Amino acid sequence: MFNVVKAELRKLRRPTLFFGTMGAALFFTGLITSFIYLMIDSPQGNGDRGRTIGREVLGLANGSVNGFASVGGFLGIIALCVFAAQTAQEYTYGTLRNLLIRQPSRMKILIGKLISMALFAIAMITIAPELPGASVAITHLTAAGVTVALGHTDGDFADAASGTNAGGRVITHFMNAMDKGLNETSFASFVIADERLTVELILDGHHVPYKTAQEIYAAVGNRLIFVTDAMAAAGGTDGNYTIGELPVIVKDGVARLESNGSLAGSTLTMDAIFRNSIQELGLSIPEAVAATSTRAAKLMGLTNRGEIAVGNRADLLSYNENTQSITLINS
Indicate the pLDDT class of residue 116, thresholds 50, 70 and 90.
low
> Cα(266)–Cα(255) distance, rounded to whole angstroms?
6
Mean pLDDT computed over 277-302 = 94
> Cα(249)–Cα(114) distance, rounded to whole angstroms?
33
Q: Which helix (H) or strand (E) holds 226?
A: strand 224-227
Report the candidate in 255, 236, 324 with the shortest Cα–Cα distance to residue 288. Answer: 324
Q: Which helix (H) or strand (E) holds 319?
A: strand 316-320
Sort strands 224-227 and 198-202 into parallel, antiparallel or unpaired. Answer: parallel
Please, what is the end-to-end C-alpha distance for the chain in angstroms?
48
The pLDDT tens digits for 191-235 are: 999 999 999 999 999 999 999 999 999 999 899 999 999 998 888
> Cα(105)–Cα(42) distance, rounded to whole angstroms?
57
The pLDDT tens digits for 28-81 are: 777 777 777 777 777 776 665 556 666 666 665 555 555 555 555 566 666 667
Residue 14's Cα: distance from chain center in Å? Answer: 29
pTM (2 decimals)? 0.69
Cβ(187)–Cβ(214) under 8 Å? no
Strands (E), 238-315: 239-243, 246-251, 254-257
Indicate the pLDDT class of residue 124, thresholds 50, 70 and 90.
confident
Cβ(248)–Cβ(255) under 8 Å? yes
pLDDT of residue 140: 82
Q: Which helix (H) or strand (E) holds 29?
A: helix 15-38
- Please state the three-class secondary structure of 114-146 as a single string: HHHHHHHCCCEEEECCCCCCHHHHHHHHHHCCC
Sort strands 246-251 and 254-257 into parallel, antiparallel or unpaired. Answer: antiparallel
The pLDDT tens digits for 270-281 are: 999 999 999 999
